[in-house]
Structure 1
Amino acid sequence: MEEMPLPALEKVAAYFQALAEPTRLRLLNLLRGGERNVGELAQLCGYTAANVSRHLSQLQQQGLVERESRGTSAYYRIADAAVYELCDLVCGQIARQSERQADVRAAFMAPPQAAAASRSKR
């Protein structure tokens, strides 16, 4: 992102903003297995079809999903599978951060016997 003009940065921010909502991430994850219609996605998520459609519309605006009308149903599929690589990268980073934080917490949460034994050796 070196020295990008403001309009380009705004486009990047809008892309990440589309990914910054748990419902939309859940919908993307459900679409990993292939295309689904709004009703199927709503049922799987436990949300209303209107709510799912609104989130899918935002994902479509950013080019993350494609929409196809068939009769009375709208089907959605992933437009670019690279979004999963991005999500996997972020999830891996979060997991590594959690591991580091757990290690730090563990150092402060040593069992009382271990702490007492450590003090008696001094």
Structure 2
Amino acid sequence: MKATIWHNPRCSKSRQALAILEETPGVAVTVLEYLKTPPTRAEIAAVLAQAGARPSQAVRKGEAVAREIGLDTGDDATVLDAMAQHPILIERPVVITDKGAVIARPPEKARALL
């Protein structure tokens, strides 16, 4: 099975989710450090749709940039635009497999896709 994780190595939850993936036999893990290689707006929208999550449910509202830009989290199109422009706003970690996608908070949620 293939799994992709949108990963921030500075985040403990992201590191925990990555460890779960790497410790699972038969899982080939692709790590996307999304702050270095940000997904496009379309990729973000597609993965959130797979996860059954609205952009407003997957945005890091507490990030300083959210306050700086006056982010309106009630407008999904605005949130997607902001996530694409400021990937730090994407809630992490995101795990994607052929079974779907999940925002792995808590990290154990990644197991549902394995």
With the length of structure 1 as denominator, give the TM-score of the two structures.
0.28
Which protein is richer in helix relative to its size? 1
Larger strand percent? 2
Q: Which of 1 and 2 has higher RCO (CA within 8 Å, sep 6+)?
A: 2
